[in-house]
Copies of this chain bind each other. A is one copy, B any other.
């Protein structure tokens, strides 16, 4: 089965946004065993969109469009498909109700042009949009499947999962699928991973292994072709086992797992609770933890003690400690971890204080200097580590929050195994 993808949007042609929908959909189609030979991007122009749809219908089995379904006059995908398929646009009653209900739920007035979203080509089926107003569309044209999906990624991606993939699976129940599995690592750098896996990466084996790196994070993608998930996992099994035997506890999860999620799972296994005190990360660590459903079982609270005064007023850190050693110091970091733990009555307290930049650095406390503290145990023991992270303000915040999660994970693994981690001393600043 061959699919062709068409993306509509002048903002794509002007380079104002990156087409993340293209990557997402391509990856999901590959995982479903559907081949893609062409992807086309055109602007908000009815004639060029119509030509692209006509060309795609001429050479693919499935055509999927993204974008151009909204209420405004430059949303032209349905008009283009209607013209290319010779089917007039008709008002769909269910879609009209859905659009009306969406505006009502927001307490907003529905404008006349909003109704454009409820028109679909004759013979087509609307696809409910659980994350926005514009319904998607599914139709058959001369035995070919055609889907129109809305452009915003938070509407596009769920609709791929809910409507497109199941329909393609139902059409082609037999084919081989391209199946990938991602192993997510922390506390180790990309070069170190590559050198430990030199003989495994990039080979021509039935299972290929490729590194995927983003700032502060390393992952490995294992890919194979198989009839189904189970036989793919069986084929990949020995390769994954080999990687795990060499990289031991650096692997924190697979696929869509997050480091924050793995830390929350470890907290649950150890039956411990957590509170966090953040200065330079400004709430990012708490935000990442609370992105995980059910986080409130383990994360009791966070304090963004962003100013010196807040460190005194909320956390009760002595003003002299701050003025004596400076707010970015191991003493203040230790006091933050101990205080937030006491304030919240949690089992563990984590603290972060540093200079995220771009301004505010000095010779003794340069931009990127970050202290991370952990208070734990019945004796109120506190450990503080000093780091220096490169990058912009946002990147320094991200690396610092991630490192705090690595510290927590190492501590929890050590607690749960009852043994100190031999690699831990090696895991700083990655």
Residues of A at under 8 Å CB distance from B?
A: 10-20, 22-30, 36-45, 48, 52, 70-74, 102, 105-114, 130-132, 152, 154, 158, 178, 180, 182, 189-192, 194-195, 198, 201-202, 210-215, 221, 223, 275-276, 278, 280-287, 289-291, 293-296, 299-307, 309-310, 313-314, 343-345, 356-359, 388, 390-395, 397, 428-430
Q: Is A30's CB under 8 angstroms from B18's CB?
A: no
Q: Is B307's CB under 8 angstroms from A300's CB?
A: yes
| Most chain B CB neighbours (cut-off 10 Å) among A108, A110, A152 | A108
Q: Is B306's CB under 8 angstroms from A302's CB?
A: yes
A132 to chain B minimum Cβ distance, whole angstroms, is 8
Q: Is A106's CB under 8 angstroms from B191's CB?
A: no
Chain B residue nearest to A212 (CB atoms) is B11
Report if A306-B299 is in contact (Cβ < 8 Å); known contacts: A15-B28, A72-B190.
yes
Q: Is B112's CB under 8 angstroms from A195's CB?
A: yes
Give Cα A11–Cα B379 distance, bound, in whole angstroms: 48
Please name all residues of chain B whose beta carbon is closer than 8 Å to the beta carbon of A281 when the two chains form the complex: 287, 290
Please name all residues of chain B whose beta carbon is closer than 8 Å to the beta carbon of A22 when the two chains form the complex: 12, 15, 18-19, 41
Give Cα A195–Cα B154 distance, bound, in whole angstroms: 23
Give Cα A391–Cα B132 distance, bound, in whole angstroms: 8
Please name all residues of chain B whose beta carbon is closer than 8 Å to the beta carbon of A29 when the two chains form the complex: 15
Contact of A108 among B16, B189, B357 (CB under 8 A): B189
| Most chain B CB neighbours (cut-off 10 Å) among A42, A283, A294 | A283
Chain B residue nearest to A30 (CB atoms) is B14
In the A-B complex, the 10 residue pairs with the smallest Cβ-Cβ separation, listed nearest first, are A282-B290, A15-B27, A15-B26, A283-B286, A283-B283, A302-B304, A301-B310, A39-B41, A283-B287, A111-B195
Report if A191-B71 is in contact (Cβ < 8 Å); known contacts: A282-B287, A306-B301, A429-B107.
yes
Contact of A106 among B16, B213, B344, B429 (CB under 8 A): B429
Please name all residues of chain B whose beta carbon is closer than 8 Å to the beta carbon of A345 when the two chains form the complex: 309, 313
Chain B residue nearest to A31 (CB atoms) is B15
Q: Is A290's CB under 8 angstroms from B304's CB?
A: yes
Please name all residues of chain B whose beta carbon is closer than 8 Å to the beta carbon of A45 when the two chains form the complex: 37
Q: Is B114's CB under 8 angstroms from A313's CB?
A: no
Give Cα A12–Cα B299 distance, bound, in whole angstroms: 36
Q: Is A307's CB under 8 angstroms from B303's CB?
A: no
Q: Is A201's CB under 8 angstroms from B73's CB?
A: yes
Report if A107-B37 is in contact (Cβ < 8 Å); known contacts: A191-B71, A290-B304.
no
Q: A132-B215, A275-B310, A309-B344 are in contact. List 10 more A-B contacts (CB 8 A).
A: A13-B39, A14-B178, A17-B23, A39-B41, A72-B201, A73-B201, A74-B202, A283-B283, A295-B306, A296-B306
Q: Is B210's CB under 8 angstroms from A44's CB?
A: yes
Please name all residues of chain B whose beta carbon is closer than 8 Å to the beta carbon of A391 when the two chains form the complex: 131, 154
| Most chain B CB neighbours (cut-off 10 Å) among A306, A356, A429 | A306
CB<8 Å pairs between A and B, sample of 23:
A18-B18, A18-B19, A37-B43, A38-B41, A71-B190, A109-B192, A111-B191, A111-B194, A113-B194, A131-B392, A132-B390, A154-B215, A275-B310, A282-B289, A283-B302, A296-B307, A299-B306, A301-B303, A301-B304, A301-B310, A301-B314, A303-B314, A314-B343
Q: Is A194's CB under 8 angstroms from B72's CB?
A: yes
Please name all residues of chain B whose beta carbon is closer than 8 Å to the beta carbon of A287 when the two chains form the complex: 281-284, 287, 397
Please name all residues of chain B whose beta carbon is closer than 8 Å to the beta carbon of A430 when the two chains form the complex: 106, 108
Please name all residues of chain B whose beta carbon is closer than 8 Å to the beta carbon of A221 when the two chains form the complex: 11, 16
Contact of A294 among B71, B182, B307, B359 (CB under 8 A): B359
Chain B residue nearest to A276 (CB atoms) is B304
A149 to chain B minimum Cβ distance, whole angstroms, is 15
Q: Is B131's CB under 8 angstroms from A395's CB?
A: yes
Please name all residues of chain B whose beta carbon is closer than 8 Å to the beta carbon of A11 when the two chains form the complex: 210, 212, 221
Give Cα A131–Cα B237 distance, bound, in whole angstroms: 36
Give Cα A304–Cα B350 distance, bound, in whole angstroms: 14
